[in-house]
Structure 1
Amino acid sequence: MAERLHGLLARFPDADRLIAASRDLRECGLSRLDAYTPHPVAGLPEALGVRDRRVPLTALICAVLAGAGTLALQIYASLDYPFNVGGKPVVSWPAYMIVTFAMSMVGATLGALFSMLLLNGFPRPYHPLFNVAEFDAASRDGFFLCVEAADPRFDAERLNQRLKQHGAERVWEVPA
Protein backbone atom coordinates (compact mmCIF):
# COMPACT_ATOMS: atom_id res chain seq x y z
CA MET A 1 0.00 0.00 0.00
CA ALA A 2 1.39 3.39 -0.99
CA GLU A 3 2.14 5.84 1.76
CA ARG A 4 -0.28 8.77 1.98
CA LEU A 5 1.23 12.09 1.04
CA HIS A 6 0.64 15.33 2.95
CA GLY A 7 2.26 17.35 0.19
CA LEU A 8 5.51 18.74 -1.15
CA LEU A 9 7.85 20.92 0.90
CA ALA A 10 10.39 23.11 -0.88
CA ARG A 11 13.22 25.11 0.67
CA PHE A 12 14.21 28.38 -0.98
CA PRO A 13 17.46 30.32 -0.46
CA ASP A 14 15.71 33.67 0.09
CA ALA A 15 12.35 35.35 0.54
CA ASP A 16 12.22 36.77 -2.99
CA ARG A 17 12.26 33.34 -4.61
CA LEU A 18 9.72 32.09 -2.09
CA ILE A 19 7.35 34.95 -2.99
CA ALA A 20 7.88 34.41 -6.72
CA ALA A 21 7.14 30.67 -6.42
CA SER A 22 4.08 31.32 -4.23
CA ARG A 23 2.71 33.87 -6.66
CA ASP A 24 3.30 31.59 -9.66
CA LEU A 25 1.64 28.57 -8.04
CA ARG A 26 -1.37 30.69 -7.03
CA GLU A 27 -1.68 31.93 -10.61
CA CYS A 28 -1.63 28.28 -11.78
CA GLY A 29 -4.73 27.67 -9.67
CA LEU A 30 -3.23 25.99 -6.60
CA SER A 31 -4.92 27.09 -3.41
CA ARG A 32 -3.57 24.83 -0.65
CA LEU A 33 -0.25 26.63 -0.11
CA ASP A 34 1.48 27.61 3.10
CA ALA A 35 4.82 29.31 3.72
CA TYR A 36 7.12 29.07 6.72
CA THR A 37 9.78 31.70 7.36
CA PRO A 38 11.95 32.75 10.32
CA HIS A 39 10.58 36.31 10.21
CA PRO A 40 7.66 38.17 8.61
CA VAL A 41 8.13 38.63 4.87
CA ALA A 42 6.48 41.62 3.21
CA GLY A 43 4.25 40.62 0.32
CA LEU A 44 4.07 36.93 1.24
CA PRO A 45 0.43 36.92 2.45
CA GLU A 46 -0.65 38.55 -0.81
CA ALA A 47 1.39 36.05 -2.84
CA LEU A 48 -0.28 33.19 -0.97
CA GLY A 49 -3.71 34.74 -1.50
CA VAL A 50 -4.42 35.23 2.21
CA ARG A 51 -7.21 37.76 2.67
CA ASP A 52 -8.61 36.59 5.96
CA ARG A 53 -10.57 39.20 7.89
CA ARG A 54 -11.84 36.93 10.66
CA VAL A 55 -9.43 38.10 13.38
CA PRO A 56 -10.25 41.84 13.08
CA LEU A 57 -13.97 41.07 12.78
CA THR A 58 -13.86 38.87 15.88
CA ALA A 59 -11.95 41.58 17.75
CA LEU A 60 -14.59 44.16 16.77
CA ILE A 61 -17.47 41.93 17.86
CA CYS A 62 -15.77 41.15 21.18
CA ALA A 63 -15.06 44.86 21.78
CA VAL A 64 -18.69 45.81 21.16
CA LEU A 65 -20.00 42.99 23.36
CA ALA A 66 -17.57 43.76 26.19
CA GLY A 67 -18.34 47.49 26.02
CA ALA A 68 -22.10 46.93 25.89
CA GLY A 69 -21.93 44.44 28.73
CA THR A 70 -19.88 46.81 30.88
CA LEU A 71 -22.21 49.73 30.18
CA ALA A 72 -25.27 47.59 30.92
CA LEU A 73 -23.75 46.41 34.20
CA GLN A 74 -23.03 49.98 35.29
CA ILE A 75 -26.53 51.17 34.37
CA TYR A 76 -28.05 48.18 36.20
CA ALA A 77 -26.00 48.95 39.32
CA SER A 78 -27.02 52.62 39.22
CA LEU A 79 -30.72 51.82 38.83
CA ASP A 80 -30.83 48.97 41.32
CA TYR A 81 -28.68 50.75 43.92
CA PRO A 82 -29.24 54.48 43.35
CA PHE A 83 -26.66 56.78 44.89
CA ASN A 84 -27.19 60.54 44.75
CA VAL A 85 -23.90 62.35 44.17
CA GLY A 86 -24.15 66.13 44.10
CA GLY A 87 -27.64 66.14 42.55
CA LYS A 88 -26.52 64.39 39.35
CA PRO A 89 -28.91 62.03 37.59
CA VAL A 90 -28.93 58.42 38.77
CA VAL A 91 -27.84 57.22 35.31
CA SER A 92 -25.01 59.54 34.31
CA TRP A 93 -23.46 57.98 31.21
CA PRO A 94 -20.35 60.24 31.00
CA ALA A 95 -19.10 58.70 34.24
CA TYR A 96 -19.36 55.23 32.69
CA MET A 97 -17.34 55.89 29.55
CA ILE A 98 -13.83 55.33 30.96
CA VAL A 99 -14.61 51.86 32.29
CA THR A 100 -16.67 51.03 29.19
CA PHE A 101 -13.79 52.03 26.89
CA ALA A 102 -11.25 50.08 28.94
CA MET A 103 -13.37 46.94 28.91
CA SER A 104 -13.96 47.33 25.17
CA MET A 105 -10.20 47.28 24.65
CA VAL A 106 -9.85 44.22 26.88
CA GLY A 107 -12.60 42.47 24.91
CA ALA A 108 -10.96 43.34 21.58
CA THR A 109 -7.57 42.13 22.77
CA LEU A 110 -8.88 38.83 24.09
CA GLY A 111 -11.04 38.29 21.00
CA ALA A 112 -8.09 38.91 18.69
CA LEU A 113 -5.78 36.70 20.74
CA PHE A 114 -8.07 33.69 20.99
CA SER A 115 -9.35 33.90 17.40
CA MET A 116 -5.77 34.16 16.11
CA LEU A 117 -4.75 31.11 18.15
CA LEU A 118 -7.75 29.07 16.99
CA LEU A 119 -7.41 30.09 13.33
CA ASN A 120 -3.70 29.23 13.39
CA GLY A 121 -4.59 25.76 14.60
CA PHE A 122 -3.11 26.05 18.09
CA PRO A 123 -2.59 24.04 20.11
CA ARG A 124 -1.16 21.59 17.58
CA PRO A 125 1.60 19.43 19.06
CA TYR A 126 2.13 17.50 15.79
CA HIS A 127 2.19 18.45 12.12
CA PRO A 128 3.23 16.23 9.19
CA LEU A 129 5.99 18.72 8.27
CA PHE A 130 7.78 17.69 11.45
CA ASN A 131 8.62 14.42 9.61
CA VAL A 132 11.13 16.38 7.47
CA ALA A 133 14.28 16.76 9.58
CA GLU A 134 15.44 19.92 7.77
CA PHE A 135 12.17 21.72 8.52
CA ASP A 136 13.53 22.88 11.90
CA ALA A 137 15.46 25.52 9.93
CA ALA A 138 12.16 27.36 9.34
CA SER A 139 12.61 29.06 12.69
CA ARG A 140 16.26 29.99 12.03
CA ASP A 141 17.15 30.69 8.42
CA GLY A 142 14.92 28.64 6.13
CA PHE A 143 12.27 29.77 3.67
CA PHE A 144 9.83 26.91 3.03
CA LEU A 145 6.77 26.50 0.85
CA CYS A 146 4.38 23.60 1.33
CA VAL A 147 1.91 22.54 -1.36
CA GLU A 148 -0.68 20.22 0.17
CA ALA A 149 -1.72 17.06 -1.65
CA ALA A 150 -5.36 17.88 -0.83
CA ASP A 151 -5.28 20.57 -3.52
CA PRO A 152 -7.36 19.51 -6.55
CA ARG A 153 -4.58 20.54 -8.96
CA PHE A 154 -1.82 18.71 -7.07
CA ASP A 155 0.57 16.76 -9.30
CA ALA A 156 3.76 15.82 -7.43
CA GLU A 157 6.06 15.39 -10.44
CA ARG A 158 4.94 18.56 -12.21
CA LEU A 159 5.11 20.62 -9.00
CA ASN A 160 8.52 19.24 -8.11
CA GLN A 161 9.89 20.49 -11.43
CA ARG A 162 8.12 23.83 -11.15
CA LEU A 163 9.46 24.45 -7.64
CA LYS A 164 13.00 23.65 -8.80
CA GLN A 165 12.57 26.07 -11.72
CA HIS A 166 11.83 28.79 -9.15
CA GLY A 167 15.11 28.09 -7.38
CA ALA A 168 14.12 25.61 -4.69
CA GLU A 169 17.26 24.20 -3.11
CA ARG A 170 15.51 20.96 -2.25
CA VAL A 171 12.02 19.46 -2.47
CA TRP A 172 10.73 16.77 -0.12
CA GLU A 173 7.66 14.58 -0.28
CA VAL A 174 6.00 14.90 3.12
CA PRO A 175 4.25 11.77 4.40
CA ALA A 176 0.88 12.28 6.06
Structure 2
Amino acid sequence: MVERTYGMLGEFDSPEALLAAARRARAAGYRELDAFTPFPVEGLARVLKIPRPSISLVGLVGALAGGTTALLMQMFVSYDYPLNVGGRPIYALSAFAVVTFELTILFSALAMAIAMLWQNGLPRLNYPVFAAPRFQLASKDRFFLCVKGEDPMFDDQATAEFLAGAGAASVERVPP
Protein backbone atom coordinates (compact mmCIF):
# COMPACT_ATOMS: atom_id res chain seq x y z
CA MET A 1 0.00 0.00 0.00
CA VAL A 2 1.38 3.39 -1.01
CA GLU A 3 1.21 6.04 1.70
CA ARG A 4 -0.41 9.24 0.52
CA THR A 5 1.43 12.50 0.81
CA TYR A 6 -0.14 15.81 1.77
CA GLY A 7 2.47 17.60 -0.29
CA MET A 8 6.05 18.66 -0.82
CA LEU A 9 7.33 21.72 1.02
CA GLY A 10 10.17 23.84 -0.37
CA GLU A 11 11.96 26.41 1.81
CA PHE A 12 13.23 29.64 0.27
CA ASP A 13 15.48 32.37 1.66
CA SER A 14 13.77 35.43 0.19
CA PRO A 15 10.35 36.56 -1.02
CA GLU A 16 11.78 37.06 -4.52
CA ALA A 17 12.99 33.45 -4.64
CA LEU A 18 9.59 32.22 -3.44
CA LEU A 19 7.75 34.30 -6.05
CA ALA A 20 10.06 33.07 -8.82
CA ALA A 21 9.57 29.45 -7.71
CA ALA A 22 5.79 29.87 -7.60
CA ARG A 23 5.85 31.30 -11.13
CA ARG A 24 8.02 28.40 -12.32
CA ALA A 25 5.65 25.91 -10.68
CA ARG A 26 2.66 27.49 -12.44
CA ALA A 27 4.51 27.45 -15.75
CA ALA A 28 5.45 23.79 -15.21
CA GLY A 29 1.76 22.91 -14.78
CA TYR A 30 1.35 22.62 -11.02
CA ARG A 31 -2.05 23.96 -9.94
CA GLU A 32 -2.47 23.02 -6.26
CA LEU A 33 -0.01 25.40 -4.64
CA ASP A 34 0.12 27.14 -1.28
CA ALA A 35 2.66 29.52 0.23
CA PHE A 36 3.59 30.44 3.79
CA THR A 37 5.43 33.68 4.52
CA PRO A 38 6.20 35.82 7.61
CA PHE A 39 4.72 38.87 5.85
CA PRO A 40 2.62 39.53 2.73
CA VAL A 41 4.50 39.13 -0.55
CA GLU A 42 3.33 41.42 -3.36
CA GLY A 43 2.02 39.48 -6.34
CA LEU A 44 2.02 36.05 -4.67
CA ALA A 45 -1.78 35.85 -4.42
CA ARG A 46 -2.05 36.44 -8.19
CA VAL A 47 0.47 33.71 -8.96
CA LEU A 48 -1.23 31.25 -6.60
CA LYS A 49 -4.64 32.26 -8.02
CA ILE A 50 -6.19 32.74 -4.58
CA PRO A 51 -9.87 33.56 -5.11
CA ARG A 52 -11.11 36.99 -4.12
CA PRO A 53 -13.29 36.75 -1.00
CA SER A 54 -16.97 37.60 -1.28
CA ILE A 55 -17.24 39.01 2.24
CA SER A 56 -18.80 42.34 1.15
CA LEU A 57 -21.66 40.56 -0.63
CA VAL A 58 -22.25 38.41 2.46
CA GLY A 59 -22.28 41.58 4.59
CA LEU A 60 -24.88 43.17 2.32
CA VAL A 61 -27.12 40.09 2.46
CA GLY A 62 -26.74 39.98 6.26
CA ALA A 63 -27.61 43.67 6.53
CA LEU A 64 -30.71 43.26 4.38
CA ALA A 65 -31.79 40.23 6.41
CA GLY A 66 -31.24 42.09 9.69
CA GLY A 67 -33.14 45.19 8.58
CA THR A 68 -36.02 43.12 7.22
CA THR A 69 -36.16 41.02 10.40
CA ALA A 70 -36.22 44.12 12.60
CA LEU A 71 -38.96 45.83 10.58
CA LEU A 72 -41.14 42.73 10.39
CA MET A 73 -40.69 42.00 14.09
CA GLN A 74 -41.67 45.53 15.10
CA MET A 75 -44.58 45.66 12.67
CA PHE A 76 -45.89 42.35 14.00
CA VAL A 77 -45.68 43.58 17.61
CA SER A 78 -47.38 46.88 16.70
CA TYR A 79 -50.18 45.04 14.91
CA ASP A 80 -50.67 42.37 17.55
CA TYR A 81 -50.43 44.76 20.53
CA PRO A 82 -51.46 48.20 19.24
CA LEU A 83 -50.81 51.11 21.59
CA ASN A 84 -52.18 54.50 20.66
CA VAL A 85 -49.74 56.80 22.40
CA GLY A 86 -50.08 60.49 21.55
CA GLY A 87 -52.06 59.76 18.41
CA ARG A 88 -49.18 58.11 16.55
CA PRO A 89 -49.98 55.64 13.79
CA ILE A 90 -49.72 51.89 14.40
CA TYR A 91 -46.78 51.62 11.96
CA ALA A 92 -44.58 54.57 12.93
CA LEU A 93 -41.48 53.81 10.86
CA SER A 94 -39.52 56.61 12.52
CA ALA A 95 -39.98 54.87 15.87
CA PHE A 96 -38.61 51.66 14.35
CA ALA A 97 -35.39 53.27 13.12
CA VAL A 98 -33.13 52.56 16.12
CA VAL A 99 -33.91 48.85 16.43
CA THR A 100 -33.77 48.42 12.65
CA PHE A 101 -30.36 50.08 12.51
CA GLU A 102 -29.01 47.95 15.37
CA LEU A 103 -30.19 44.64 13.89
CA THR A 104 -28.91 45.64 10.44
CA ILE A 105 -25.41 46.17 11.84
CA LEU A 106 -25.57 43.05 14.05
CA PHE A 107 -26.69 40.69 11.27
CA SER A 108 -24.16 42.15 8.83
CA ALA A 109 -21.27 41.78 11.27
CA LEU A 110 -22.24 38.24 12.27
CA ALA A 111 -22.70 37.16 8.65
CA MET A 112 -19.29 38.55 7.69
CA ALA A 113 -17.56 36.94 10.69
CA ILE A 114 -19.08 33.54 9.95
CA ALA A 115 -18.31 33.84 6.21
CA MET A 116 -14.73 34.87 6.95
CA LEU A 117 -14.19 31.82 9.16
CA TRP A 118 -15.82 29.55 6.57
CA GLN A 119 -13.85 30.97 3.61
CA ASN A 120 -10.59 30.68 5.57
CA GLY A 121 -11.35 27.05 6.37
CA LEU A 122 -11.37 27.71 10.10
CA PRO A 123 -11.35 26.26 12.65
CA ARG A 124 -8.59 24.04 11.30
CA LEU A 125 -7.81 21.60 14.07
CA ASN A 126 -4.98 19.83 12.26
CA TYR A 127 -3.00 21.12 9.31
CA PRO A 128 -0.31 18.67 8.16
CA VAL A 129 2.18 21.38 7.12
CA PHE A 130 2.51 22.50 10.75
CA ALA A 131 4.21 19.18 11.57
CA ALA A 132 7.10 19.80 9.15
CA PRO A 133 10.32 20.17 11.19
CA ARG A 134 11.45 23.52 9.78
CA PHE A 135 8.00 25.06 9.32
CA GLN A 136 8.20 27.15 12.50
CA LEU A 137 10.60 29.40 10.53
CA ALA A 138 7.67 30.51 8.34
CA SER A 139 6.72 32.99 11.04
CA LYS A 140 10.29 34.28 11.40
CA ASP A 141 12.41 34.65 8.28
CA ARG A 142 11.77 31.82 5.79
CA PHE A 143 9.37 31.42 2.89
CA PHE A 144 7.72 28.11 2.02
CA LEU A 145 6.03 26.85 -1.13
CA CYS A 146 3.87 23.74 -0.82
CA VAL A 147 2.91 21.66 -3.84
CA LYS A 148 -0.07 19.66 -2.63
CA GLY A 149 -0.36 15.92 -3.18
CA GLU A 150 -3.79 16.32 -4.78
CA ASP A 151 -2.21 18.08 -7.77
CA PRO A 152 -2.54 15.93 -10.92
CA MET A 153 1.17 16.43 -11.73
CA PHE A 154 2.34 15.57 -8.22
CA ASP A 155 4.97 12.87 -7.86
CA ASP A 156 7.12 12.64 -4.73
CA GLN A 157 10.46 12.35 -6.49
CA ALA A 158 9.76 14.64 -9.46
CA THR A 159 8.21 17.38 -7.30
CA ALA A 160 11.11 17.29 -4.84
CA GLU A 161 13.56 17.61 -7.72
CA PHE A 162 11.52 20.43 -9.23
CA LEU A 163 11.51 22.42 -5.96
CA ALA A 164 15.25 21.85 -5.49
CA GLY A 165 15.84 23.02 -9.06
CA ALA A 166 13.68 26.09 -8.41
CA GLY A 167 16.12 27.21 -5.73
CA ALA A 168 14.69 25.69 -2.54
CA ALA A 169 17.19 25.60 0.31
CA SER A 170 15.52 22.48 1.64
CA VAL A 171 12.68 20.23 0.48
CA GLU A 172 10.51 18.22 2.86
CA ARG A 173 7.81 15.63 2.29
CA VAL A 174 4.68 16.45 4.31
CA PRO A 175 2.82 13.34 5.47
CA PRO A 176 -1.00 13.51 5.74
- TM-score (norm: length of structure 2): 0.84
What does residue 115 of structure 1 align with? 115
Amino acid at match of 2:65: L
List per-residue Cα deviations over 1:64-107 (Å, max 9, x = no partner).
21221112112212222223344332212233233323322222
What does residue 167 of structure 1 align with? 167
Cα pair 1:26 1:49 within 8 Å, conserved: no
RMSD of equivalent CA atoms: 2.3
Pick which of 162-171 and 126-135 moved more: 162-171
Q: Secondary structure at the match of 2:174?
A: strand
What does residue 133 of structure 1 align with? 133
Structure 1, gaps ≥5 residues long: none
Counterpart Cα distance in 2 of 1:84 and 1:51: 54
List per-residue Cα deviations over 1:137-170 (Å, max 9, x = no partner).
2223332111111111223344333333433221
What does residue 43 of structure 1 align with? 43
Amino acid at match of 1:108: S
Cα pair 2:7 2:148 within 8 Å, conserved: yes
Counterpart Cα distance in 2 of 1:147 and 1:84: 69
List per-residue Cα deviations over 1:28-76 (Å, max 9, x = no partner).
4322111122233333222210124343333332222122111211221
- Aligned length in residues: 176
What does residue 81 of structure 1 align with? 81
Pick which of 19-28 and 112-121 moved more: 19-28
Counterpart Cα distance in 2 of 1:141 and 1:118: 29
Q: Secondary structure at the match of 1:160?
A: helix
Percent identical across equivalent pairs? 39
Cα pair 1:9 1:144 within 8 Å, conserved: yes
Pick which of 91-100 and 144-153 moved more: 91-100
What does residue 154 of structure 2 align with? 154
Q: Secondary structure at the match of 2:137?
A: helix
Q: Secondary structure at the match of 2:6?
A: strand
